Structure 1
Amino acid sequence: MILDFIQGAALLLALCWLQTINRRLWTDHCVMAPLLSGLLFGTTCVVGMLTPIVLQQGLIFDARTAVLSMAGLFGGPLVAAVAALMAGGYRFWLGGSGVWVGLANVLMPVLLGLAYRYWHQRGKVQTGPWQLLAFGLLVHVLTVLLLTLLPAAQASLSLRQVAVPMLLVLPLATLILGLLLRDIEYRLHTERALAQSEARMGAITRAIPDLLLVLDEDGRYVDVVAPEPKLLLLPRSQLLGKHLHEVMSQGEAERFYAFIQRTLASDTPQILQYAIHTQVGSTVFEGRAQRLEGLLEGKRAVVMLARDISERESVEMERRIAAIAFESQQGMVITDASSKILRINQAFSAITGYSAADVIGQDTRILSSGRQTPEFYQAMWRSISETSAWEGEIWNRRKNGEIFPEWLSISAVRDGHGRVSNYVASLTDISEHKAAEDQIKHLAFFDALTGLPNRRLLLDRLQQAQAASARKGKFAALMFLDLDNFKNVNDLHGHQTGDQLLCLVAERLSHAIRSCDTVARLGGDEFVVLLEDLEPHSEDAAGQVEAIGQKILQALEAPYLIGELELRSTASIGVLLFNDELSGSHELMKRADLSMYEAKAAGKNALRFFDPAMQESVSARLQLEEDIRRGLAAGEFVMYLQPQMDENYSLIGAEALVRWQHPQRGLLSPAAFVEVAERAGLIELLDLQMLRQACEQLAEWARQPATEELRLAVNLSARLLYQPHFVDQVLELLAATGADPHRLKLELTESLLFDDLAGAVLRMTALKAHGIRFSIDDFGTGYSSMAYLQQLPLDQLKIDQSFVRALPDDPNSLAIIRAICSLANSLNLDVIAEGVETEVQRALVLANGCRHFQGYLFGRPMPLSEFARLHP
C-alpha cells in the first residue's frame, strides 16, 4: 500500500513540475497564469483519480490532498478555486459511497492551503521544510479523520489499510511539492528582479545628460551613449570600433590615450578637460573617467562621462572680465581662500551699508541673514569646489539689520598649480525687482478689489483639483455663486457702495469654507467656490456640499453694515460634482453656471445641483434624516417580534425587530431607514430605544408565569457596541426596567467583531458576568474564524437564512449546516436556524443537530399584541 501511495504521489509531483513551464510562459499575464495554474493543478488531481488506490467500489485514494493544499498555498484563491472545481467535479462524477468524503478531501486542503497562504503573507508562518512537513502532516491527519464520516464498515477498512501509508507518504509528498513550487517562485522572483535591475540601469544610463563613452586600452570606441547626437564628432554608428587617432588630431589623440592609461592605473576617477570640433562647432568638455573592473572584449577599458561645459567656460571668462572691471555698478568683494574679506568696492558699501573698515578682515558670514539652511551653503560651496563658480538668489543682511534679496555670483581664482587663492563675488540688490515681480504676480492671479484668486488662478487650481480627485478617488465640487439683485445696490447706492459690499461678501465666503478650499471672484458679482477632498461616494459628497452651501447662504443672508447703511443680499448657487479629468475646466465652469441659473429660476437664495437626480436624492436623504430624528423623539420606532421555537414547536422566545410607524408613510421596514440612520450617526439612539423596549418587555413577561421563561434577542450595531460607556448603558437599562439579564440575548454580526476584537471581548465578558447571553448572527456568511470563536464568550450560533432557504435542493448548504451544528456542539454552543419556511427545511435542519428555529413557518415579525396570542 505504501508503494502504491509513493507511485501515485510521484506521478502527481511529476505533473506539477509543468508549473515551471506555465509560470515562465505566463509570468506577466495577470489572468492566464493563475487560470492555467489552476487547470494544471486540477488536471493533476484528475490524473491522480484516474489511477487511484481502490479499496472497494466507491472508495478511492490518491494524492490530491497534497496537490490541492499546495495550490491554495502557492497559487492563491483563483488557482485553488479552479483546481478544486475540476477535482471536485471529477470526484463527484466518479460517485460511490465515499463521494462526500472525497469532496470534503477536496475542500479541506484548499481551505487549509489558503489559510496557510494568508498567515504566510502576513509574516506569521514560514514555508521552510519543517513548516511544510508539519502542514502536510496536519492536512493528512484531517484527511484520515474525515474517513470516520464513512459508513462504519468502510471507515474501519479505510483506517486499517490506508491511514498509516497515507501519513507516511503524503506529508513527505506535500513537503517535496511545496519545496518545488517555492523554488519556482524564488527563481521567477530572482529573474524578475534581475530584469528590473537591468531595465533600471538602462533607463538611468539613457537619462544621463552627459556623453557616455566606453574606450578600451587601445583607445578604441567600444560604446557611445549621447543624449544629443550632435555633440559627437561623428554619428554613433561611425564612431563605434574606431580608434582615437582615426577621429582626432594626433596631438589630441595622444593626450586622450595618456588619460586612458592614467585612469587604468588609478583607483580613483580621473578628470580631463578638452575641446573638440563637434557637429555643432567647437565644444569644451569636462570628462570624468573610471576604469572598468574585468575585461571588455578581452581588453581593459574605461568608462567616461563627458559634460559640455562650453557655456560654463564662457561664464568664467566673463567673471574674469568682471574682476578686471571691479569698480562697477555691482557690489564687488574679494576674499582669500578662507573667505576672509580682502577688498570691496563702493557699490558694495552702498548696497550693504558696510564700509571697508567694517568688513576688511571679517568673514563673509557677517552678511548672513539666517534664512538659508546649512544644506543650501553646503551645495553652494560644493558647486564652487567642483566648477569654480556659483550664482543664484540669496538673502543677506545690511548693516542696519534689514534683510534683503540679492543676486550673488561667486568665482574661484586659482593659481598656477590649480589651488584656490581667492574668491571674487559680485552682488546686485534685487529688492525692487522682487517687489515688482510679486506685484505683477499678484495682479496676474488675484482680483484687485477683493484680493481673492481671479479666473486664471481658479482655472489652474481647478485643473489640479481634477487631477487630485481622479488620483485619490474622491469627489470635488465647483460652486458658481451669483448675488441676487446686486444691480439694484449699484443703481441705488452707487458703485463705491457696491464694491464695499463685494468685499464683505468675499470676507464672509472665506470664513464659511474650509482651509483646503478656494474662493475666487470672476468679476462683477460672480464668485466661485472650489471644494476639494470630499467623500468618495457621490451622495455623501453631495451632502457635504449641501451643508457648506447652506452655511454660505446663511452667512450671505445676514445684514451688511456699510457706514450707516444697512443692506441685505442673498445669493443663488449652482453646484457641480466631479471626480475625474474627462471634462475640461471651461466645461465644468459652464455646467456650474447653468446650475446657478436653475437656482435663480427656483426663486433665488437657493442651491441647485447640475444633476437633477442627485439634487432629488440629496433632498430626499436630508428629509429622511430629519424625519428619523423627529421619529426618535416622538417614539415612532416600535418593536416587532418574530417567534423562536424549539424542536417540539414550543415557544422559547423571540427576536426583536425594529419597525417605523411613520405618520404619513405607514409602517416601514428597516430597509427604508437603517442605512440613512447609520450615515447620519443616529443608529446608536435607535439601537438604545430598541434595547430599552426589549428590556421593558422582558420585565413585563417576568410578571406572568406563562411567559417568564421566554428569552428576547436584540441586534446590536457596531457603533453602539464600541461606544466607551456601552456596558454601563446596558446595565442601567436593566436596572431601570427590572428586566432579568439572563433572559436577554444580544446578537452580533461576525464582521463588526473584527473592527476591535479585543474591545469586543472585553465588553462582552463584562456583560456576560451579569448573565446576558450572546449570539453570532448570520453565522457562516462572514469570517467564520475558529480563532474568534475561542476568544468570545458566546452562547449561540445563528445559521444564516441563506443556507436554510436553499434546502432541500442545495447539498452544499446542507453540508455547511451540518458542519456548523457539529462545530457548535463541540464548543458547547446552542444553534438556531433562521429563515425556516417549510416543514422539509425544519426536518433537515433538525436531523443535523439544530433544535431551535425561527422563520415564516412559525410566524412573521408581528406586533406585541399579536405575539401575545401565541402563548396562553
Structure 2
Amino acid sequence: MVLELLKNVILLIALCWVHGLITRYVDERSPLGKGLSGVLFGGICILGMMVPMTLADGLIFDGRTAVLSMAAFFGGPQVGLIAGAIAGAYRAWLGGVGMLPGLLNVLMPVLMGLLYRRLYRRGRVAFNLPSLLLFAIAVQVLQVLNLTLLPAPKFALFMQDAVWVLFLLLVPLTLFLGLLLKDAHVQRRDRLALLQSEAQLRAITEAVPDLSLVMDEDGRYLKIKSPQTDLLLDGGQGLLGKRLLDVMPVQQAELFMDFIARTLASEQPQTLEYELKTPIGQRMFEARARRMDARFNGKRAVVFMARDITERAEVEREQRIAAIAFETQQGMIVTDAQTRILKVNRAFTTISGYEPQDVIGQSTRMLGSGRQPPEFYQQMWRIINEEGQWQGEIWNRRKSGEIFPEWLSISAVRDKAGRVTNYVASLTDISERKDAEEKIQHLAFYDPLTGLPNRRLLRDRLQQAAALSRRNGHFCALIFLDLDDFKNVNDLYGHQAGDELLCQVAQRLKSTLRELDTVARLGGDEFVIMLEGLEPQPEEAAAQVEHIGSKLMLALREPYRVSEHQLFNSASLGVVLFNDEAHNVDELMQRADLSMYNAKSAGKNALSFYDPLMQEMVSQRLQLEHDMRRGLSEGEFVLYLQPQMNHLGELQGAEALVRWLHPQRGLLAPALFIEIAERSGLIAELDLYILKQGCQLLARWAAQPAFARLSLAVNTSSRLLYKDDFIAQVRRILAETQANPRQLKLEITESLLLSDKHEAALRMQALQSLGIRFSIDDFGTGYSSMAYLQQLPLNQLKIDQSFVRVLPEISSLAIVRAIMALAHSLGLEVIAEGVETQAQWDVLRDNGCQFFQGYLFSQPMAVAAFESKQWHEQPLNAGRVG
C-alpha cells in the first residue's frame, strides 16, 4: 500500500517536471498558455488517480491535493480551475464510496492554492520552506477533515492504515512540487527576460548608427558592425583577423593601442576623439570603449563603438565661433518674431545695466527712451521688413533711467518659407563718441576759458548776420571790446587771477546783452559783440548801440571779486555798423578793431564809432613797419645820448636813445615807431642794433680821456633778454667792439621780469660776471616787488619821471623818499629821470639821490653834439643846461 502511494508520488513528480519542460516555451500569461497549463495539470491529476493507493472499493488516495494546490498557486485562478475541473470530472466518473470526499479534495487544494497566492502577492506570507511546509500540512489536515464524510468503518480503516502514510508522503510531495515549480517558473522568467534582453540589445545595436568593433588586447579586429558601408572598405569585413598596425599608420595605431590598454585597465568606459581617413574623406569620430568580462581565444577584449561626429564637430565649431562672436564688445539682443527678448550678452548688461533675468521675456519697448517719435519707429520697421536690416543712431534708456545714444543694427532672421522667426540686434554705446564730438565741436567753435564763441564761430555768425541784414534792411553792429590795463592784473596778481577776471567779464557781457546777440572772445582780453536786429535808420541804430555800450561799460566798471581781492576794471569799445554785404568779414572786424584803438587813444573807458580816418592811420602804421625793416638793414637808426649827472652836477654817463632818420619824413622820435617795433617783433633787432652802436661808442671813448670814465645805459626789451642766443650775442659784440663791459649798463623795466624771473636772474648773473651792470627803469610804476630786488643782480634803481614831475608835492616826495630808503638799504644806486627844474633837483639831492637825468641838464642829442659839449664847465647850480 505504501509502495503504491510512493509510486504515485514519483509519477506525479515526473509529470510535473515534464509539465515544466512543456510550458517553458509557452507564454503562461496568455489565455492559451493558461489553458494549456491547466489542462496539463488536470491530466497529471488523472494519471495520478489511475495508479492510486486503494484501501477499499471506491476509496482511493493519490497526490492530487499537492498538484492542484501548486497549480492554483503558480498558475492562478484560470489554471487552478481548469485543472480542478478536469480532475473533479475524472473523480466523479470513478465514483465509489469516496466520491464526495474525493471531489471536496479536488476543490479544497485549488482554493487553498489561490488563498496562498493571494496572501503571497499582498506580502502577508513568504514563499519559502517553512511557510510551504505549514501550507502542505494545512492542506492534508483539510483533506483528512473532508474524509470524515466517509462511512465510519471506511474512515476508521483510513485512520488505521493510511493517515500516517498520507502525511508522510503528500506533505513532502507538496514541498517538492512547490520548489520544483518555483524553479521552473524562475527559469522560465529568466529565460524570457534573457530573450527580451537579447531582443532589446539586438534592436538597440541595429538602431545605433555607430561603428561597433570587438578588439582584443593585441589590437586585432574580432567583430565589426558598420551602419554605413562607406566608412570602411567592404563594410569592414576585410579587416577581420587583422591588427591595427597592419591597416593604420604607426602613429595612429599606437593611439588606438594606448586607448585599448587604458580601457582594459579601467572598470569604467573610456572615451576618445580622433580623426580617420575614410573612403568618403577625412572624418571626425568619437569613440567609447569598455572592457569585456569574457575572453576571446584566451585574450582580453574590448567593445569599441565609434560615432561619426564630423557634422556635429563642425556645428560645435560654428557654435563656438558664434558664441565668441556673440560675446563681443557690442551689446547683442536676440528676440522672437514678436520682439520679445530671448537672449542678451554680457556687453548688453555692461551697456544698459540690465541683467539677463531683467529683460528675457520682455518686449524691447522697455528699452525705449521716448525721444524718438512714433514715425521714427514706423520708418525703421518698414525698412527692416522690406530690406531685412536697419542701422542707425538711436537713444535708449539704461536701467538707471539714464538716456544714452547708441548705434543700433537690426537684422531679421527668416525660415525657409521666408517668415521672420527672430530679430538679432547689435548695439554700441556711442556716449563717449558723442561727448568727444561735442568737445571737438566746442573746441573748434568756442573759447575753452570762457565758453564763449571763438573767432571761427563769430565769423560764421557775422556772415549770416550780414546776409540777413541785407534782406530785412535792419542794421547790425560789431563791437570790439578790450579791457583797459588788463596787463596790470596779470602782473600784480598772476595769470590765474587774470583768467578768473576774464570769466567774470564774459558772464557780465552775456547777462547784459539780449539772447539773440553774440558775445565772442578772440583771445587775451579782447571780446567781440555782435548786435542784430537794430533799427533800419543809421542814427537810431547808432543810438541803440550807444545805449547798449553804455550799459556794458557800466557793468564792467562794477568791482570784481577775484581770489579775495577786489579789483576794478574798465573797457574800451570800438563799433562799426553794417546792414549789407558790401564789406566782408575781415573788413568789418578790422574797422571795429580800429574803432577800439581810437577809444583807447581817447583816454580809455570809452566807446568809439568807426571813422574812415582811422583806416588811414592804420595804413600809415603798416607802411612805417615796412620802412623800419628797410631802415634797420640800411642803418637809418642813429644813436642819441641824454647825459646822466651826479649830485655835484658832474657828467657821469649817458643813456643811449634811438632816433630814426627817415629818408622822407626826417628825424622821427621813438614815440612814432617803438610801439610799431614791439607789435611787429622788430624791437629785439632794434635793441640789438642800439646795443652794438653803444658798445662801439664805449670802445671809442676808451681812447678819449674826457669820456673814458663815462658809463653808457642801453635799454633792453624782454624779447631781446629772453632770446636763446642773447648772452652769446652780447659776448660777440663785446669781443668785436673791444668795449669795456664795466662801463656798460643795461636798463630793464619791471614788467620785463614777470615772464620768467628765474630765467631773467640766470641771464643777468651771466652778464654781470662779465662786468655789465643793471638798472631797473621806471621803478615804482610796475610790479615793485621786494622779492625780485633781493633775487636779481641789480646795481641801480631809476625813479620814474611821473614821481619827479610833481615834486616837491608831499605825496610824491613820500614815494621818492621810500624808494631811496629802500635802495640804500639794499646797497643800490638811485638815479632820477625827468628832472626839469632846479627845485626838483634840490629836493632829490636833499633826500639822498645820487644821480640825475632830465631836461634841466640837457635834452637828448646826437653823439657828435654830446662829445663836443664842454661838460666840465657845467656850473653846479645852473638853471637849465642845454
Same fold (TM over 0.5): no
- TM-score band, normalised by the shorter chain? 0.3 to 0.5
Q: TM-score, normalization: structure 2?
A: 0.38
Q: State the structure with more CA Rg.
A: 2
Q: TM-score, normalization: structure 1?
A: 0.38
